[in-house]
Structure 1
Amino acid sequence: MNDADALAQREIALVDLLDRLLAGGVVITGDLTLRIADVDLVRIDLNALVSSVSAEVPSPFQDLDYEEPA
């Protein structure tokens, strides 16, 4: 059995897989177009970054000053 077969046979728990993906971050990209008779009716573009949050990494939004609406 070679290394490629060994990797294909290896089982990984879903929790471990999610932990690995979130540790490095995952980018989800997709396009959806609803078309009738060659006329585009609805187009949805999806770009999402999914990542874990760590208390050791500061938020990039801490420096922004928000004013309360009057």
Structure 2
Amino acid sequence: MTSTGSDPLAERQVALVDLLDRLLAGGVVISGDLTLRIADVDLVRIDLKALISSVSAEVPSPWEVGP
């Protein structure tokens, strides 16, 4: 497939550090389900929901600081 110039971002390279910086600045939500099943019987089910974001003085941590 050749580039016709219609999509200027098609060949743009982004450093991993820049990508992580942009994702953490706004926050990332990760969710997933994992089920261990044998012979159509669910043995273990894990639901995962995680919020990953940066914390700064403008946006403090939601957890209180210990003594």
TM over 0.5: yes
Structure 2 unpaired stretches of 5+: none
Runs of 4+ in 1 over 3 A off after TM superposition: 58-62
Q: Which has the higher helix share?
A: 1
Report the equivalent of 1:22: 24
1:10 is aligned to 12
CA RMSD in angstroms, aligned pairs only: 1.5
Tell me the CA shift for residue 56 of structure 1: 2.0
Deviation per CA, 1:19-63: give whole Å up to 9, x if none. 00000000000000000000000000000000001112234444x
Query: Percent of aligned positions with the same letter in both sequences?
Result: 79
Structure 1 residue runs of 5 or longer lacking an equivalent are none
Counterpart Cα distance in 2 of 1:21 and 1:58:
18
**Aligned equivalent of 1:45:** 47
Q: Secondary structure at the match of 1:20?
A: helix
Q: C-alpha separation between the residues in 2 aligned to 1:15 and 1:58?
A: 23
